[in-house]
Structure 1
């Protein structure tokens, strides 16, 4: 069965590569413009989608001007069900943004596989009001089969300036087996993180082509890592919440 999972991931990655090139390049353009203008990329999600923010933040080989919005109430700890309930609360996203260093001209990536819950939808709407470019990373296959839980009736993909489609299946779980009534083997984290790292790789190339040196974190387990990273921390600490 493990080979079936590999096969599914390979197929999804191929589908993403074939269908999302234009969106990936456009997302990289948004972020490049933000960085060229000394702005910050913010990344937000709830539950398992918080992994998208953690994946791009303070990561060896990753770019420095990235603010991970890791709201404790939306995390899987200390109680996973609290995250599910919090994600459905209207008005919460606006309060989250009031406590983050967001500015006009910044870009925000908002992750939600279903794209139906109130908080990610409101996050997109509120970020737009503040003059941020909004990139959604979501599954259109999933989102198209559910109803919105936001008062607007909209889903995340309808509120973003740009959509990165993970192409994952409805319900996320991708495998089935005789003898069990539910599917298993979620794919959204693997595919979503791959898409986002591909976008950031393109951003690095864009900056190099513009004769701008990309600020990139270096592993703290290399000899020069701490010295390089400490300079970035000193520069960005007031602009990135978790530094």
Structure 2
């Protein structure tokens, strides 16, 4: 059954993901934890479907409070999906967007772009590094190596990041095939990437605790105590997090 085949493929890719990328995940968490310990934030950026990763770790039960999801509508699938494709290929936009955010050299920037080839991600990495941030990139090495850069520098996101976590999807992302059907279907990058970014957050929390600091964590707003706890967190961090 294709449903089980998909599960098997994802399971294999996840296993390879965590076997091969353990050091990169740890390095990413070290940078993120330092930002939290410094009372600063972790910015998360992606375009199109890659905005999912920013949404996954922002303003959610059990999530770190000091996460700033960079969710500009210009790069979203809504209201017109094709516009997000156009915008992520437009050089010179990301740095102007980042300039509108509260930023600091002590922040960490996580950028997700599975191909890594588009200017939006490269520009965001360069802009963050110019400020002094550490940049973590989630990129598929296989996908990136099979394409050319669309940035004027000729560089891929993986070439300009401080830490690269190689997302173990295939070039083109889709993994399943069927007799009589041309082309492949069902991508795996979202499952792999979301698992990775949550694992980075998990290790970030542990690193903070190990350093003697209890990091601020959202509580479900559907628990009786949730609203009061979250309100205190939001009051402290809202000036640094534009989505709040």
TM-score (norm 2): 0.98
1:94-133 → structure 2 map (5 Å cutoff)? 94-133=95-134
Measure the CA separation in 1 of the matches of 2:113 and 2:42: 17
Measure the CA separation in 2 of the matches of 1:237 and 1:206: 23
Q: Deviations over 1:147-196 (max 9, x none)?
A: 00000000000010000111100001111111111111111111101001
Show the counterpart of 1:71.
72
Structure 1 counterpart SS, 2:59: coil
1:39 offset after TM fit, Å? 1.2
1:222 offset after TM fit, Å? 0.7
Show the counterpart of 2:241.
240
- 2:218 aligned with 1:201: no
Measure the CA separation in 2 of the matches of 1:231 and 1:115: 37
1:96-175 → structure 2 map (5 Å cutoff)? 96-175=97-176
Q: Deviations over 1:113-164 (max 9, x none)?
A: 1000011011101110011100001111100000000000000000100001
Number of aligned residues = 243
Show the counterpart of 1:24.
25
Give 4+ residue runs of structure 1 displaced > 4 Å after superposition. none
Measure the CA separation in 1 of the matches of 2:204 and 2:98: 25
TM-score (norm 1): 0.99
Measure the CA separation in 1 of the matches of 2:193 and 2:209: 25
Q: Deviations over 1:188-243 (max 9, x none)?
A: 11110100101111111111111101110000011111110010111111110001
Measure the CA separation in 2 of the matches of 1:105 and 1:237: 17
Show the counterpart of 1:83.
84
Measure the CA separation in 1 of the matches of 2:158 and 2:67: 22
Show the counterpart of 1:3.
4
Show the counterpart of 1:36.
37
Structure 2 counterpart SS, 1:135: strand
Measure the CA separation in 2 of the matches of 1:17 and 1:98: 34
Give unmatched runs, 5+ long, in structure 1: none
